[in-house]
Structure 1
Amino acid sequence: MKRKKKLIVNSVLVSALALSVLSPTAFAHDALEHEGINKGESEKFVFSAADLENLAKPKMTGGKNLRFLHEAAGVQIEPKNGRQNNAADVYAHKGFAYLGTHTANGANGGVRIFDLKDPSNPVEVAQFAHEIPHTWQEKVIVKTVNTPDFKGDLAVVSLQQTSRNNANRPDSFGGVLLYDVTDPYNPVRLGFHKLEDRRITGTHELYLTTQGNRALLLTSNPYADYYTGGASRDFEILDVSNPAEPELLWGFDPRDLPEVPQSFNGYHWFAPDGKTRPSFNHSVITDNNGHYAYVSYWDLGTIIFDIRDPENPVYLGRTDYRADQKGSAHSAALARGGNVLIETREVSNPVGAGYESAYGYTRIFDISDKTNPQLLSEFKTDLTFDIPPTSVGRTTFAKTVHDPKVRGNTLYLSYYSGGVISVDITDPANPVEISRYTPESADVWGVYVDRNYVLASDMGQGLKVLLKNNGNGNANGQQPK
Structure 2
Amino acid sequence: MNRKFVLSLSLATALSVGSIGSFVLAHDELGSDIIEKGTGPGYEAIESTIEGSQSFNWKEVAAVQIKEKDGKQNNTADVYVHKGFAYTGTHTKSGGEGGVRVWDVKNPSNPKEVALFADDIPGTWQEKVIVKRVNTEHFQGDLAVVSVQQLNRKAEGSVGGFLLYDVTNPYQPKKLGFWELDKRVTGTHELYLTEQGGKPYVLTANPYADYYTHGEQKDFQIVDVSNPASPQTIYQFDPRQLPEVPENFDGYNWTDSNGKQRAVFNHSTMADVNGKTAYLSFWDLGTIVLDLENPENPTYLGRTTFSATQQGSAHSAALAKGGNVLIETREVYNPTKPGYEHSYGYTRIFDIKDKTNPKLLSEFKTELVDDVQYGVTFANTVHDPKVHGNTLYLSHYGGGVRSVDITDPSNPVELGKYIPEKSNIWGVDVAGNYVYASDMGTGLKVLKLTNGEQ
TM-score (norm: length of structure 1): 0.86
Amino acid of the residue matched to residue 174 of structure 2? V
Distance (Å, rounded) in 1 between the aligned partners of 2:290 and 2:31: 30
Query: Is 1:172 the equivalent of 2:158?
Result: yes
Aligned to 1:229: 214
Q: CA deviation at 1:284?
A: 0.3
- Mapped to 2, the partners of 1:447 and 1:287 lie a distance apart of 19
Structure 1 residue identity aligned to 2:146: V
Quick one: which amino acid aligns to residue 411 of structure 1? L
Corresponding residue for residue 133 of structure 1: 122
User: Compared with structure 1, are the counterparts of its residues 312 and 424 closer, same or farther at alpha carbon in structure 2 (3 Å cutoff)?
Assistant: same
Tell me how far apart the structure 1 counterparts of residues 43 and 223 of structure 2 sit (CA, whole Å).
Answer: 36
* 1:453 corresponding residue in structure 2: 434
User: Given the alignment, which residue of 57, 71, 79 partners 1:82?
Assistant: 71
Return the structure number with greater relative CO, CA threshold 8 A, min gap 6. Answer: 2
Q: 1:294 aligns with which of 279, 293, 313?
A: 279
Distance change >3 Å, CA 96–CA 206, structure 1 → 2: same
Distance 1:33 1:406 in 2: 27
Q: Which residue of 1 aligns with 2:453?
A: 478
Q: SS state of the match for residue 308, structure 2?
A: coil
Question: For 1:295-349, what per-residue CA distance to the aligned partner results, in whole angstroms no more than 9, with x for missing partners?
Answer: 0000000000010210010100000110000010000000000000000000011
Q: Does the 8 Å contact 2:25/2:35 carry over to 1?
A: no
| Range that drifts further, 356-365 or 343-352 | 343-352
Name 1:438's counterpart in structure 2.
419
Which of these residues, 82, 86, 96, is aligned with residue 93 of structure 1? 82
* Match of residue 119 from structure 1: 108
Q: Offset of 1:465 from its aligned partner?
A: 0.4
Q: Which of 48, 62, 67 in structure 1 is aligned with 2:53?
A: 62
Q: Which position in structure 2 is the counterpart of 1:327?
A: 312
**Residue 42 of structure 1 contacts residue 349 of structure 1 at CA under 8 Å; is this kept in 2?**
no
**Counterparts in 2 of 1:60-459, with a 5 A limit?**
62-64=53-55, 66-67=56-57, 69-166=58-155, 169=156, 171-195=157-181, 197-388=182-373, 391=374, 394-459=375-440
Q: What CA deviation, in whole Å up to 9, does each residue of 1:60-110 have, x standing for no partner? A: x8335x21x211100000001000000000000000000000000000000
Counterpart of 1:18? Answer: none
Instruction: Report how many residues are paired.
Output: 427
Tell me how far apart the structure 2 counterparts of residues 225 and 314 of structure 1 sit (CA, whole Å): 19
Contact 2:97 2:126 (8 Å CA) reproduced: yes
Secondary structure (helix, strand or coil) at the match of 2:322 reads helix
1:192 and 1:383 map into 2 onto residues whose CA distance is 40
| Deviation sequence 1:6-57 (CA, Å, 0-9, x none) | xxxxxxxxxxxxxxxxxxx975312x343335xx455656244x999xxxxx
Query: C-alpha distance in 2, partners of 1:162/1:280?
Result: 19
Q: Which amino acid aligns with 2:398?
A: S
Shift of 1:177: 0.3
Deviations 1:239-276 (A, max 9, x none): 00110010110001111111111121101111111111
Name the SS of the counterpart of 1:28 in structure 2.
Answer: coil
CA RMSD after TM alignment: 1.6
Contact 1:155 1:178 in 2 (8 A): yes
Q: 1:149 to 1:42 in 2, by over 3 A?
A: closer
Distance 2:74 2:24 in 1: 16
What TM-score results when the alignment is normalised by the length of structure 2? 0.91
CA contact (8 A) 2:303 2:358 kept: yes
What amino acid is the match of 1:208? L
Is residue 2:42 matched to residue 1:46? yes
Query: How far apart, in 2, do the equivalents of 1:343 and 1:314 lie?
Result: 21
Give the secondary structure class of the aligned counterpart of 1:365: strand
Tell me if the contact between 1:113 and 1:127 (Cα under 8 Å) persists in the aligned partners. yes
Q: What do residues 378-420 of structure 1 show as CA deviations (whole Å, max 9, x unaligned)?
A: 00111010123xx2xx242110000000001100000001100
- The C-alpha deviation readout for 1:102-136, integer Å capped at 9, x for no partner, is 00000000000000011111000000000000000
Q: Distance in 2 between matches of 1:420 and 1:45?
A: 26
Which secondary structure state, in structure 2, belongs to the residue aligned with residue 337 of structure 1?
helix
Aligned-residue sequence identity (percent) comes to: 62
Preserved CA contact (<8 Å) 1:143 1:155: yes
Correspondence list, 1:27-38, <5 A:
28-30=24-26, 32-37=27-32
Structure 1 residue runs of 5 or longer lacking an equivalent are 1-24, 53-60, 472-476
Distance 1:36 1:207 in 2: 26
Q: How far apart are the structure 2 equivalents of 1:158 and 1:455? A: 20
Q: Which amino acid aligns with 1:99?
A: T
